[in-house]
A and B are shown apart, each in its own frame.
Chain A
Amino acid sequence: MGETVLKVENVTMQFGGVVAVDNLNLEVNRGEIVSLIGPNGAGKTTAFNVITGVYPPTNGCVSFNGKVIVENFPKGKMKKIYMGDPVAVRSQTVQPTPDKITRLGIARTFQNIRLFKSQTVFENILIAEHMRRTSNLLTATLHLNGEEERRMRTEADELLHILELDDVRDEMATSLPYGKQRRLEIARALATKPSLLLLDEPAAGMNPQETDELTAFIGRIRDDFKLTIFMIEHHMDLVMEISDRIYVLDFGRLISQGTPDVVQNDPRVISAYLGVQEDE
């Protein structure tokens, strides 16, 4: 087991009176593929949104490569109505915007595809190069950054080539078939050169064949790009085949964790998914 890349400690996310995620603790180690599963509404995407800075958590701390990137504690009105786990309440606030977290090396995809609709496949990839620019507004406007611009374009083209998307390079992103749109979204996330990739239901809406392709694809990019992958997924075939470890969330709480075999046979997981049989 390698060193810990992502560490989530005591994260609680409360919206008004609803506790979406309650005292979540998890770790993702370098080179692993870790899955987060759970029934609908269990708080999986909320957990992702906390990690990527979309929501500041109500309480808790997220660290990346040993450095705290998100931290918060209940304050103001939330202090009175806080219903999460009262232990381990933090005392610091670190609230970066999502773009800062991306620049640290955490990229993500979205549950419902969010491609840049009016732009081509190539332009979708090219946008990720913007955050590594060295030009400022003036030099970029006057096109004095020719060398940088060329580098951006070659890098984007290289990535398209590696991910076998170069045959659709100049097509509009939304004109692609669904499976390719998913793949493009992952490609776009990879263009930010992350070390940790968060995939939010990458196989949602895919047929079995597309899912198989995706499984191979995820395994391949993990090796090729030396990635750590943390994903939310509902397709159990995909999850069980590819994951090194699995975390199971239900009603915002972690109910089980471990290798696919352990999780598969955990009675708590089975009851969360299928419901507990009640005696009459």
Chain B
Amino acid sequence: MKKNTEIMINVLLIALLLAVLFILERTIPSTSMLFTVLKKGAIYALVAVSMNLLNGFTGLFSLGQAGFMLVGAYTYGILTIPVDQRPNVYMYFEGGIVQFALHPVIAILLAGVAAGIFAYLIGLPVLRLKSDYLAIATLGFAEIIRAFFQWDKLGPLTNGSNLLRSYPSYKSVLFYFIFSGICIALIVMLINSTYGRAFKAIRDDEVAAEAMGINLAHHKRIAFVVSSYFAGVSGALLAMYQTSIQASMFKSAMTYEILLIVVIGGIGSVTGSCISSFLFIILSEWVLRFLDNTTYIGSFQVPLLRSGFRKVVFSVIIMVIVLFFRQGIMGTREFSVSALLGKKKKAKGGEQ
């Protein structure tokens, strides 16, 4: 009964959110910064949650997310460029070898599958490692993937180090929200299932988890592949959002951005990752932009404000968070309406 009302409230809130987005799209010009931020925020929320599934819920400190996003983005691009555009895009490789185009949604799903396959193969050797060693190995493999996709010999498939472009993309912000919303919901459902409980057991104590009959290798592999699947999907969404992609975009700096989102949001909190993803994107793309621009007040040049200063401010924020707010915004708690109401009730009780 209580659970049902909670679900009802959540469904209503989601419907309300989508309605607001729908109205905004009709009223505000589509070039507005707001939509850029919302789209990118939705994409980063998905990849952050997928990273949280590994780092926060399974206890596998992996830094390969950018690599799997790259696989997803390229798979999407390669599979969807219209056939008549291919000679233009693959101008150095005689039109490339793929001569068909799939429906974008199918291509997105396949992008996840491709990332999952890469993850499975990389996971075979890498998942034997623990903690920092795993992080270093996955980071290394992500870099190898990037170099691999830029390889000249693979040009007919990946267009070498040139841009992939002219593929179809959805412009509506609703598409990004719904798609990444569904994916995040799936991850949450996985976390709440018996497999999710096994993941958390592995995170808390590997030896005890094994003594409880949980096959470590099998479950780590599942978590790794599933996480990479959704990283691949978000890579495809990112490709769509940016309308052109290049392997050199997916540097390790990108993984760090995602890791930062996860840490700020709270390792082990899905809603924390979502909130901090939007926060991060809004700050970095919008609010803090002015830090990068040389600004004059009258004839006085404001000191420090010049290209690159944004990064300095960001580094300071990260250090402050790591030193003083190690739990992040949410810690391991989850944001929910009932908890919010419950807290309010408690607060009221305190006042009386």
By a beta-carbon cutoff of 8 Å, the part of chain A in contact with chain B is: 52, 54, 97-100, 102-103, 107-108, 110, 114-119, 123, 126-131, 133, 135, 137, 140-143, 145, 148-149, 152, 188-189, 192
Contacts and interface: CB of A to CB of B under 8 A. Distances in A.
A249 B68 CA distance: 53
Contact of A114 (B195, B197, B205): B205
Contacts of A119: 200-201, 204
Given A114-B205, A114-B207, A142-B189, A123 B197 contact: yes
Contact of A98 (B195, B200, B201, B211): B211
A97 B207 CA distance: 11
B163 to A, nearest CB: 36
A140 B211 contact: no
Top 9 nearest A-B pairs (CB, nearest first) are A131-B213, A116-B204, A114-B208, A102-B213, A140-B193, A98-B210, A141-B190, A127-B201, A99-B215
Contacts, number: 100
Contacts of B222: 137
Contact of A102 (B186, B190, B211, B332): B211
Contacts of A118: 200, 203-204, 268, 332
A135 B210 CA distance: 19
A128 B193 contact: no
A233 to B, nearest CB: 19
B204 A192 contact: no
Most buried by A among B190, B212, B216, B268: B212
6 contacts: A98-B211, A108-B211, A117-B205, A119-B200, A130-B212, A149-B194
Contacts of B204: 115-119
B197 A126 contact: yes
B136 interface: no
Interface in B146-203: 186, 189-190, 192-195, 197-198, 200-201, 203
A52 B214 CA distance: 14
Contact of B207 (A110, A137, A188): A110
A69 to B, nearest CB: 14
Nearest to B217: A97
A141 B216 contact: no
Nearest to B195: A140
B216 A102 contact: no
Given A97-B210, A99-B210, A110-B208, 6 more contacts: A97-B217, A127-B198, A137-B190, A141-B190, A192-B212, A192-B213
Contact of A52 (B190, B209, B211, B226): B211
Interface residues of B, number: 29
Most chain-B CB neighbours within 10 Å: which of A127, A143, A149? A127
B331 to A, nearest CB: 11
A41 B190 CA distance: 43
Given A99-B215, A99-B216, A118-B200, A127 B207 contact: no
Nearest to A128: B212
A135 B193 CA distance: 10
B215 A97 contact: yes
Contacts of A127: 197-198, 201, 209, 212, 214
Nearest to A191: B212
A108 B209 CA distance: 11
Nearest to B208: A114
Contacts of A143: 189, 192-193
Nearest to B215: A99
Contacts of B190: 137, 140-141
Nearest to A104: B213
A103 B213 contact: yes
Contacts of A98: 207, 210-211
Interface centre among B186, B201, B205 (most CB of A within 10 A): B201
A144 to B, nearest CB: 10
Given A99-B214, A142-B189, A129 B208 contact: no
Contacts of A117: 204-205
A137 B213 contact: no
Nearest to A149: B194
Contacts of B186: 141
Contacts of A97: 210, 215-217
Interface string B321-333: 0000000000010
A159 B233 CA distance: 42
A87 B186 CA distance: 57
B223 to A, nearest CB: 10
B205 A99 contact: no
Interface in B211-235: 211-217, 222, 226
A135 B211 CA distance: 21
Contacts of B226: 137
B112 to A, nearest CB: 14
Contacts of A192: 212-213
B215 A133 contact: no
Contacts of B193: 140-141, 143
Contacts of A128: 212-213
